[in-house]
């Protein structure tokens, strides 16, 4: 039987693991990215970001001989489009530019009857309203949103259930069969618009629940109540499951996708709008906590304060929309610059006053703010003994530790 040929477009955080998984499942994969440096790195046998198990997946996919990396698009039956989908900060709507450009490039080379699977997260109705109008030959459109979480991608790729949105049921079933070989999870087939909606709703559910925890943190702080104790006790109720508050929400999903609903349904998405604003207000809330603690401790020099963690979550190197970057922006607005920053996962200098060694960072500051709960800091809490600590994740409980 002829092997199925798949061209994966966009080899970033989602596209690369997807392409590798498909190759390992026995498909012929052409991985395409227009970033020639990235393609060069992959062809030199190196992965392009840090993720537990990624290098092993990369090596085993390469060993199958089923995958190649290129800047060119190919003439194949199946395409998986995995390019960025940011939102327009002003209108809050999805910015479909990358997806539309990728589809236009695919249309230049694809055969009739090709199947174009959009994995990128898109707002409900995007395929109908924006993609279908640019289709100039007979192809089938499918939406297969990705749910994997950075930090646990390898496990989730193999075990998560998947949603396949296709308006032609037969095509939906064929695509479900392809994905079914890559995951033990259930593969559900639905229509395109429902698939688009499910992905955005999943991330919105998370954003709203995180916002609730963040709002509780603010209310409890106002009356000097321990929010963690409240959540711990409330969660003993059989039908209550409150998440943990934090210094804000970042990344490419939870801090972005819910805005699509606010942008598209502004008079309806009220809870979502307020939730997103609450999450976005957290870095400022942390900055105010820093000022409060400095005042209490008679500290006047902001350069003696350091932010631990730059990525948007623990144990990953992805800084997109991260709370620390948001806090630094807020600091610029307050004209009180000088905060020091350190993250073990960020090897390049991307912000001012950035350190690359934990001990040097701690030596330079009196107050450390735990913005990200990387394993490194959890394993080195003893080093914080003589510091004032603002712990935004409730991982540190010795003297001189403040919480949100
Ligand atoms: N990162 C996550 O955790 C995550 C999780 C689930 C879903 N998603 C969704 O997956 C999609 C991709 O996100 P990502 O994090 O992988 O983005 P990314 O920025 O890491 O990767 C996108 C890649 O696409 C390439 N690219 C862009 N346009 C191209 C084109 N026309 N042709 C060829 N290559 C092109 C870029 O060079 C880049 O390497 C987004 O819609 C995102 O919302 C992301």
* pLDDT tens per residue, range 109-122: 999 999 999 999 99
Instruction: Using the CB atoms, write b or e for 273-304: b if 16+ within 10 Å.
Output: bebbebbbbbbbbbbebbeebbeeeebeebeb
Q: How far apart are CA 24 and CA 51, in angstroms?
A: 18
Tell whether ligand 1 has an atom less than 6 A from the beta carbon of residue 252: yes
pLDDT value at position 92?
79
Q: What is the pLDDT of residue 335?
A: 63
Evaluate: CB of 105 within 6 angstroms of ligand 1.
Answer: yes
Reported as a single tens digit per residue, the pLDDT across 138-153 is: 999 999 999 999 889 9
Active site residue: 220, 253, 319, 396, which one? 253
Ligand 1 pocket residue status of 106, Cβ below 6 Å? no
Average pLDDT over residues 273-297: 97
Is residue 98 in contact with ligand 1, taking CB distance under 6 Å?
yes
Active-site residue, selected from the candidate residues 199, 313, 340, 373: 199
What separation in Å is there between the alpha carbon of 213 and the centre of ligand 1?
29
Distance (Å, whole) CA 342 – CA 194: 42
pLDDT of 90 over the 90 cut = no
Ligand 1 centre from 268 Cα, in Å?
A: 29
| Position 1 pLDDT exceeds 60 | no
Torsion angles phi and psi, residue 264, rounded to 5: -85, -25
pLDDT digits (tens, 9 = 90+) for 52-72: 999 999 999 999 999 999 999
> Strand 162-166 relative to strand 140-143: parallel, antiparallel, unpaired?
antiparallel
Cα–Cα distance, 344 to 114 (Å, whole number): 44
Mean pLDDT of 7-36: 97
Q: Say if ligand 1 is within 6 A of residue 33 CB.
A: yes
Rounded Cα–Cα distance for residues 354 and 376 (Å) = 17
pLDDT band, very low/low/confident/very high, at 336 (cuts 50, 70, 90): low
Q: Whose CA is nearest to atom 20 of ligand 1?
A: 12
Please indicate whether residue 7, judged by its CB atom, sits closer than 6 Å to ligand 1.
Answer: no
Is the pLDDT assigned to residue 130 strictly greater than 70? yes
CA 29 – CA 331 distance, rounded (Å)? 46
Q: Are 306 and 362 in contact (CB under 8 A)?
A: yes
Find the 254 Cα to ligand 1 centroid distance in Å: 15
- Compute the average pLDDT of residues 181-193: 97
399: confidence class by pLDDT, cuts 50, 70, 90:
confident
How many A from CA of 33 to the centre of ligand 1? 10
Looking at the chain, the number of H-run helices and the number of E-run strands are 14, 14
Burial of 381 (0-12, 13-18, 19+ CB in 10 A): middle
Question: Cα separation of 396 and 18, whole Å?
Answer: 37
Question: Band of the pLDDT at 46, cuts 50, 70, 90?
Answer: very high
C-beta 85 within 6 A of ligand 1? yes
Relative orientation angle of helices 192-222 and 270-296, to the nearest 10 degrees: 30
Q: How far, in Å, CA of 392 to CA of 401, rounded? A: 10
Report which ligand 1 atom has the smallest distance to the Cα of 38.
39
| Residue in 12, 37, 117 to alter for ligand 1 test, most ligand atoms within 8 A of Cβ | 12
As a whole number, the mean pLDDT across the chain is 95
Residue nearest to atom 18 of ligand 1 (CA): 12
CB 351, CB 332: distance < 8 Å: no
Long-range contacts of 295-302 (CB under 8 A, 24+ apart): 297/366, 297/367, 297/388, 299/366, 299/367, 299/388, 301/338, 302/336, 302/337, 302/338, 302/339
pLDDT of residue 87: 86
Read off the pLDDT of residues 93-105 as tens digits, 9 standing for 90 and up. Answer: 889 999 999 999 9
253 is catalytic: yes
Query: What is the band of 252 on the pLDDT scale with cuts at 50, 70, 90?
Result: confident
In the DSSP assignment, the letter for residue 167 is S
Find out whether the beta carbon of 120 lies less than 6 Å from any atom of ligand 1. Answer: yes
Counting atoms of ligand 1 from 1, which one is nearest the CA of 49? 20
pLDDT single digits (tens) 210-251 = 999 999 999 999 999 999 999 999 999 999 999 999 999 999
Strands 340-342 and 305-308: parallel
Of 314 and 336, more confident: 314
């Amino acid at each position: 039987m002829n092997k199925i040929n798949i061209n994966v477009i966009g080899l970033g955080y989602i596209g690369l693991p997807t392409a590798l998984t498909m190759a390992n499942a026995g498909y012929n994969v052409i991985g395409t990215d227009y970033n020639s440096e990235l393609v060069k790195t992959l062809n030199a046998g190196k992965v392009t970001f840090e993720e537990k198990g990624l290098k092993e997946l990369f090596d085993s996919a390469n060993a199958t001989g089923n995958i190649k990396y290129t800047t060119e698009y190919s003439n194949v039956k199946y395409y998986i489009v995995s390019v960025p989908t940011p939102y327009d900060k002003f209108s809050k709507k999805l910015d479909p530019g990358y997806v539309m450009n990728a589809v236009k490039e695919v249309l230049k080379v694809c055969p009739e009857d090709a199947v174009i699977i959009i994995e990128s997260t898109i707002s409900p109705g995007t395929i109908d309203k924006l993609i279908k109008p640019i289709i100039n030959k007979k192809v089938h459109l499918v939406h297969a949103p990705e749910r994997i979480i950075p930090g646990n991608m390898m496990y989730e790729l193999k075990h998560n259930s998947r949603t396949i949105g296709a308006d032609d049921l037969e095509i939906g079933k064929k695509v479900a069969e392809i994905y079914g070989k890559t995951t033990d999870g259930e593969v559900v087939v639905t229509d395109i618009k429902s698939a688009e909606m499910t992905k955005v709703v999943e991330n919105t559910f998370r954003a709203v629940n995180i916002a609730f925890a963040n709002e509780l943190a603010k209310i409890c702080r106002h009356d000097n109540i321990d929010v963690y104790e409240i959540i711990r006790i409330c969660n003993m109720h059989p039908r209550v499951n409150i998440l943990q508050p934090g210094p804000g929400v970042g990344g490419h999903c939870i801090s972005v996708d819910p805005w699509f609903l606010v942008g598209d349904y502004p008079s309806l998405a009220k809870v979502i709008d307020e939730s997103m604003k609450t999450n976005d207000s957290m870095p400022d809330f942390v900055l105010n906590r820093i000022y409060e603690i400095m005042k209490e401790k008679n500290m006047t020099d902001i350069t003696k304060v350091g932010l631990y963690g730059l990525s948007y979550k623990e144990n990953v190197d992805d800084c997109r929309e991260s709370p620390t970057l948001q806090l630094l922006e807020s600091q610029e607005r307050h004209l009180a610059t000088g905060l020091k920053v350190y993250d073990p996962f960020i090897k390049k200098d991307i912000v001012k006053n950035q350190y690359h060694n934990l001990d040097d960072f701690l030596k330079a500051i009196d107050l450390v703010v735990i913005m990200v709960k990387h394993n490194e800091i959890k394993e080195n809490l003893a080093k914080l003994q003589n510091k004032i600590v603002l712990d935004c994740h409730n991982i540190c409980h010795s003297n001189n530790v403040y919480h949100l």
